[in-house]
A and B are shown apart, each in its own frame.
Chain A
Amino acid sequence: GQNIDQPTEMTATEGAIVQINCTYQTSGFNGLFWYQQHAGEAPTFLSYNVLDGLEEKGRFSSFLSRSKGYSYLLLKELQMKDSASYLCAVRDSGRGSTLGRLYFGRGTQLTVWP
């Protein structure tokens, strides 16, 4: 099974930088995903890490350390529209090399203040 932990809530001001942490314990690991979910909407994909290190995508970056079971999502130059829930998800090894199940943490509600 999976045990995925992330903070429940975070707040930050417009223009700032925020880091959302995620720790996980897994029986088999095959990638870590970050999703953004605005209230009343479906989750949308932000980033994916399968190897250790940093992946950068515009204002968003995600980092992974497999040995520590740790990831973070870094959001730069925060904007009001970044107020949302951020979901950390781990894909397990599953049957076959990449067809694993995707398990989610409980999400971190980020509020960006003007």
Chain B
Amino acid sequence: NAGVTQTPKFQVLKTGQSMTLQCAQDMNHEYMSWYRQDPGMGLRLIHYSVGAGITDQGEVPNGYNVSRSTTEDFPLRLLSAAPSQTSVYFCASRDRGAEAFFGQGTRLTVV
């Protein structure tokens, strides 16, 4: 059972570079989210989606874009990486009324 798959697991970027973090789920879940986790800050919601073609902003959306063209995929794009975006990123998916399942995370360093 694949569940929620995130790639890559680790990434180093230079300031100003762009990249896409991939997230795919095979559970046919409607709801997908992206979080970032920083020491002492807990998980903060970046963007979320309640279904294909529908996305909305979370608590800390600036500097990130998302799209949801299919139920399975929810990529997160960093437009112009900044050192403040150094973090661990988690993708999560869930079905109506149910608990969220998390991917294994992407550890991103921006230098």
Chain A interface residues toward B at CB < 8 A: 1, 8, 31, 33, 41-45, 48, 87, 89, 94-96, 98-99, 101-107
B residues in contact with A96, CB < 8 Å: 50
Would you call B53 an interface residue if the criterion is a C-beta within 8 Å of the partner chain's C-beta atoms?
no
The smallest C-beta distance from A101 to any residue of chain B, in angstroms, reads 6
Query: Per-position contact with A for B38-81: 1 when CB-CB < 8 Å, else 0?
Result: 00111111001010000000110000000000000000000000
The smallest C-beta distance from B24 to any residue of chain A, in angstroms, reads 15
B residues in contact with A1, CB < 8 Å: 59
Contact B96 A98 (CB under 8 A): yes
Would you call B104 an interface residue if the criterion is a C-beta within 8 Å of the partner chain's C-beta atoms?
yes
Chain B interface residues toward A at CB < 8 A: 30-31, 33, 35, 40-45, 48, 50, 58-59, 90, 92, 94, 96-97, 99-105
A residues in contact with B58, CB < 8 Å: 101
Contact B42 A33 (CB under 8 A): no
Task: Kindly state the separation between the CA atoms of A103 and B105 in the bound complex, as whole angstroms.
Answer: 18
The smallest C-beta distance from B60 to any residue of chain A, in angstroms, reads 12
Contact B97 A103 (CB under 8 A): no
Task: Kindly state the separation between the CA atoms of A48 and B104 in the bound complex, as whole angstroms.
Answer: 21
